[in-house]
Amino acid sequence: MSTETRQTLLPLLRARGEERLRLYERADAVRRAHMGDEVFVRGIVEFSNLCANDCAYCGIRASNRDVCRYTLGEDDILAVARGLEARHQTTIVLQAGESEAYGDEALGRLIRRIKRETALAVTLSVGNRPPEVYRAWRECGMDRYLLRFETSAPALFARLHPACTLAERVACLRALRDCGAQVGSGFMIGLPGETLEVLADNILLCRELDLDMIGIGPFIPHPDTPLGAARNAYADDPEMFFVALAALRVFNPDAHIPATTAYDAVFPGEGRNLALQRGANVFMPNSTPFEYRKDYLLYPGKPCVDETADQCADCVARRLRALGRPIGLGPGHSFKAARRQS
């Protein structure tokens, strides 16, 4: 990373008091100027909690034997997809643990059915795959792919993810760009051992990768994991989670940035609202069938596991009305992607 650029970013991350408020205002102004006031609503469907990986913080890691495993059938997923547009959710985000719960061809068939039977944009989030698999899914109609790099520090990444390296993860992101998909990634804020310099490099890596969407949120380990008792590096100053978000927007002005669910876990009932006022422009409600939500528990205190999809949609609408932010119309494709194609 460029030391000069990092030195430009670090003062924002060190902001305190009135300086933080000015940073939030600046981030909100950058968001409005580059992305407008619309908030795009994207429904997440957690279609399987089977996972072959043993990530050191995640509740659905392979070795957690207390998880009730499930995989939704293709018709069940299609039934959810057909109901999203009525809830103003114009993208379906198909998210699962990294496993062979669905084979590559089966996922391709599912993507084709969703594109044929609905007007939804399709985002997939199922982990590291070979470039040829990404290309095949893209040919089936996949619009976007979400694969977080979690941290720009190779040693921290290795501690979290025994199954792959940071270099392999970044190679996947570049392969996704090469196949023409809109690429989403991001990181956790406050990993044990994270410094402000690492946090700055996380933000700069997002810019270097020219990401179409960037999802970030606080590190919250599941108790039944090796890092279950680990403390967030910013536990004594949780406002840092918003400082990171605001700085991310300033340095990545034209990326879609969601107000991720984890913000509500740390700031119940208001976290995602505050995120939308400090740089975010996307809301991703849980659209997983109610009976499976409690079994996709990546971290403790995950919001919305006791609500139905309709209740979540109503909550989103109320929140956005209270903020004076209109729901985005259409698929909400990346502005960057449109420019790349022109």
Mean pLDDT of 85-112: 95
Neighbours of 296 (CB within 10 A): 22
For the chain, list the domains and their CATH numbers: 3-336 (3.20.20.70)
CB 220 within 8 A of CB 265: yes
CA distance linking residue 208 with residue 61, whole number of Å: 30
What are the start-end ranges of the E strands in 252-337?
A: 258-259, 282-283
SS3 283: strand
**Which token pair is 123?**
């985002």
Neighbours of 196 (CB within 10 A): 17
Query: Can you tell me which residue has the tokens 């993810």?
Result: 161
Contacts of 98 (CB under 8 A, 6+ apart): 51, 52, 53, 126, 127, 128, 163
Share of the chain above pLDDT 70, in %: 99
Label residue 335 by pLDDT band (50, 70, 90): confident
**What global pTM score does this model have?**
0.96
Mean pLDDT of the chain: 96
* pLDDT at residue 38 is higher than 90: yes
Could you tell me which of 163, 160, 131 has the C-alpha nearest to residue 145? 131
Pairing of strands 121-125, 144-146: parallel
Predicted confidence (pLDDT) per residue in 280-329, tens digit: 999 999 999 999 999 999 999 999 999 999 999 999 999 999 999 999 99
φ/ψ of 186, rounded to 5, equals: 155, -165
CA angle in degrees (0–180, nearest 5) for 119-124-125 = 150
Q: State residue 31's pLDDT score.
A: 98
Could you tell me which of 256, 259, 255 has the C-alpha nearest to residue 269? 259
Task: Look up residue 136 and give its DSSP letter.
Answer: H
CA distance linking residue 59 with residue 216, whole number of Å: 18
Q: What is the dihedral of CA 92, 97, 103, 108, to 10 degrees?
A: 20
Beta bridge partners of 43: 92
